[in-house]
Structure 1
Amino acid sequence: MKLALFDDHRLGVLSEDEAHLIDVTTAIPASDRDPLTAGWWRGLCRDWTELREQIESAASSRTPIPLGDVHLRAPVLGPTKIIAAASNYRAHVAEMHDVQERTLGTVHAWMMEFDVFLKAPSSVTDPAGPIVLPRAVLDEDREIHHESELVVVIGKGGKDIPAAEASEHVFGYSIGLDITVRSPADRSRRKSYDTFSPIGPWIRLRDEGYDASGVDISLTVDGAVRQQVNTSDLIMNVDEIVSYASRIMTLNPGDVIFTGAPPGVGPIRAGERLVTEIEGIGTMTTEVVAG
C-alpha cells in the first residue's frame, strides 16, 4: 500500500494503477488536524497496525479521485526532526575530495566519515517543489547541489533500537532530495533552507515486505542522468542507520531519515527539472526556481 497527503493535508490511498487517490481521511481517529502540530499523523505512524484494517475498508468503498485533480503534499507532516546520513556511499566519499577542493579550496577529512546530522523540519516541501535557490547564496556565487536519497519514515519510534529490530520501527519509505549549499558552514545550516527537502510523491509502507536494501535510485536533470546507484552500496544500511541514530536521540513517530547521497552530486540552476526515481516507490519530479 502507498499513502499520500494531498490538498489540505488529507490522507489518501494510492490506487493500484497509481493514477488515482482514495480519500480515507475520515477513517482515522479525529484528533489534532493542525499541520504544524500534526498529532493525527504521528498517531497514524505509531498505530498503523491497529488502524490499517479500517483504512483498507474505507479505501475499498470510496470513489477514486484522479491524481490530476489533487495537489500532492509531502507525505510527512510535522516531523520532530529530520535526520540525515553523511558519507554513506563510498563512491560519493571519493568524489567529495574534488568537490571540496573546487568549492572550498580544501578537503575536510572529518566530513568523509559516516555520521548523522539534523536538517530543519521547515525545509520540507511538496514533491513538485519548487526548490527555491536563496538569493543571498546565489549572490555569493556558491554552488547548490542535488542529492537524491531514499527516505525512511519512522513508525513506533524508540531509543537504543537494535539493528536486528530496526525494521519494526519503520513506517515506510519515500523519495527525497537533500539540497545542499557547498560552503564552509555547518551541514545543518547549508541544508536547512526552506524548500531544501522535497519529499514524495507518497510513502511505500514497510509492512508489505518491501525490501529497501537493494533498490535502484536515479536522478536526471533536464533529462541528463546525474545519479544512478543501488542501495546495496550503502556503507550503513537502513537498519544500521536507524539503530545508530536511535543510540544518539530518541526516534519519534513520523520522524524522517535521509539515508545518504549517492555519487554524482552536482549543481542545480533555476529553470531546471529534477526527476528522481526509486524502484518500488515511484517518481518525483521537482522544479527549481531562483529566490
Structure 2
Amino acid sequence: MKLSMFDDFRLGVWARDDSIVDVTRVLPETARPSDRMSALIADWARVESEIRDASRSTGTPRSQVTFRAPQPRPSKILAAPVNHGPHREEMIAAGAFTDVPGTIEKYVAFLKAPSSIVGPDGSIEHPDPTRRIDYEAELGIVIGAPARQVSRENALSHVFGYLALIDVTMRGDEDRSYRKSFDTFTPLGPAIVTADEIPDPSVLELELRVNGRLRQKGRVADLIYDVAQLIEVYSRAMTLETGDIIASGTPDGVGPLTPGDEVSLEVSQVPPLTIPVTARDPLHQPSAPATQ
C-alpha cells in the first residue's frame, strides 16, 4: 500500500486508480497531526485490513489534494555517509578524502534534525547565496517495530516501508550534521510504500533530475552497507523507534542547486518526489561564519 499525509495532515491511502482515500478515522483522536504516521505504524496490526479495504474504493484525484511530508516528525533521522560504491569512487577521484576509506566504514552515521523535513507542498530553501548546496538522491527507510540490537537476518522485519528522500547538503567545513540540518534540507514523500510491496529493496533504482536533466542514476544494490546492515549497525548503538527514518546513501552525480531549480527524484516502485528550490528570506539567513 501507499500511504500519504495530505491537506491538513489527513491520512490517505492510494487507491488502485491512484486517487487518495481519506482514512484518518482509523487514527486515535489524541494523535497530533505531526504524530499521525507514527501512531498509524504503531497500530498497524489493528488497522491494516480496514485501510486495505479502503484502498479498493475511489477517492479524491491526486491533483485535488496537497501532499505533506508523510512522516513529518520522526524521533530521529539517521543517514549513511558515502555509502554508495560509485559515489565513493567519485569522491576519491575528486580528492575528497585524505584517507581511504573515508566512508561509512569509518564514519558509520550522522544525524539530521527532524525539523529539516519538508514535504512536496514546500520548497528547498537556499539559506545563503554565498554558499553551495547540493542534492543527494536517497532511499528513505521507515522503521516499523522498534529495533534494538537486531541481527542483519532479522533487520528487514523492522521496516515499515520506503519513500523518496533528498538529502540536501551545504558544503563547507562545519560539522556534517549542522550542514545537513537546515530547515527544508530533508525533502521526502509524497508517500510511504509499505514493505510488503518491496520485499527486496536491493532491486530498487534511483534517478534524480534537475530541471528535467538527469543528474543521478543508481541502484540500491550498490550500497556498501545494504538496508539490513544499516539497521543492524545503527540498532547496536541506539533503539530505532517506530517511525524513525534512515537515509540510505546517495549515488554518484551529486551537484549544486540554485534558486529557481526544480528537483525530481524517482525511486522505482515508489511515487516520485518533485520540489522547487527557492531563496530564503534574507532576514533569516544564517549568520555563522563559514569556510568555503
Give me the TM-score of the superposition, normalised by structure 2.
0.90
- After TM superposition, the structure 1 = structure 2 runs for residues 174-185 of structure 1, keeping only pairs within 5 Å, are 174-185=163-174
Structure 2 residue 68 is matched with structure 1 residue 31: no
Take 2:198 and 2:166, find their aligned partners in 1: how far apart are those partners?
Answer: 24
- Summarize deviations over 1:232-279 as a string: whole Å, max 9, x none: 111111111111111111100000110001111011111011111000
Who is 1:81 aligned against? 76
Instruction: Report the number of matched residues.
Output: 278
Q: Of residues 60, 64, 70 in structure 1, which corresponds to 2:59?
A: 64
- Summarize deviations over 1:28-72 as a string: whole Å, max 9, x none: 33222242xx1x4323212312220122234445x5111111110
Deviation larger for 46-55 or 225-234: 46-55
Who is 1:5 aligned against? 5
Is the CA contact 2:87–2:250 (under 8 Å) kept in the aligned structure 1? yes
Take 2:202 and 2:255, find their aligned partners in 1: how far apart are those partners?
Answer: 25
Structure 2 residue 82 is matched with structure 1 residue 117: no
Is the CA contact 2:117–2:185 (under 8 Å) kept in the aligned structure 1? yes
Counterpart residue type for residue 32 of structure 2:
R
Who is 1:208 aligned against? 197
- 1:112 deviation in Å? 2.8
Take 2:255 and 2:114, find their aligned partners in 1: how far apart are those partners?
Answer: 23
Deviation larger for 124-133 or 250-259: 124-133
Take 2:269 and 2:98, find their aligned partners in 1: how far apart are those partners?
Answer: 36
Is the CA contact 2:70–2:190 (under 8 Å) kept in the aligned structure 1? yes
Who is 1:127 aligned against? 120
Structure 2 residue 155 is matched with structure 1 residue 159: no
Q: Provide closer, same or farther for how the CA distance between residues 73 and 34 of structure 1 changes in structure 2, counting only shifts above 3 A.
A: closer
Counterpart residue type for residue 12 of structure 1:
G
Give me the TM-score of the superposition, normalised by structure 1.
0.90
Counterpart residue type for residue 47 of structure 2:
L
Is the CA contact 2:9–2:33 (under 8 Å) kept in the aligned structure 1? no
Q: Of residues 33, 44, 47 in structure 1, which corresponds to 2:40?
A: 44
Structure 2 residue 279 is matched with structure 1 residue 290: yes
Structure 2 residue 212 is matched with structure 1 residue 217: no
- Summarize deviations over 1:116-168 as a string: whole Å, max 9, x none: 11000000001253100002xx23xx321100000001001121011111111
Q: Provide closer, same or farther for how the CA distance between residues 282 and 210 of structure 1 changes in structure 2, counting only shifts above 3 A.
A: farther
Is the CA contact 1:28–1:55 (under 8 Å) kept in the aligned structure 2? no
- 1:215 deviation in Å? 1.1
- Over the aligned positions, Cα root-mean-square deviation in angstroms equals 1.8
Aligned-pair identity in percent equals 40
Is the CA contact 1:46–1:157 (under 8 Å) kept in the aligned structure 2? no
- Summarize deviations over 1:192-246 as a string: whole Å, max 9, x none: 0000000011010002354211111001111211100111111111111111111
Q: Provide closer, same or farther for how the CA distance between residues 22 and 124 of structure 1 changes in structure 2, counting only shifts above 3 A.
A: same
Counterpart residue type for residue 43 of structure 1:
A
Who is 1:55 aligned against? 51
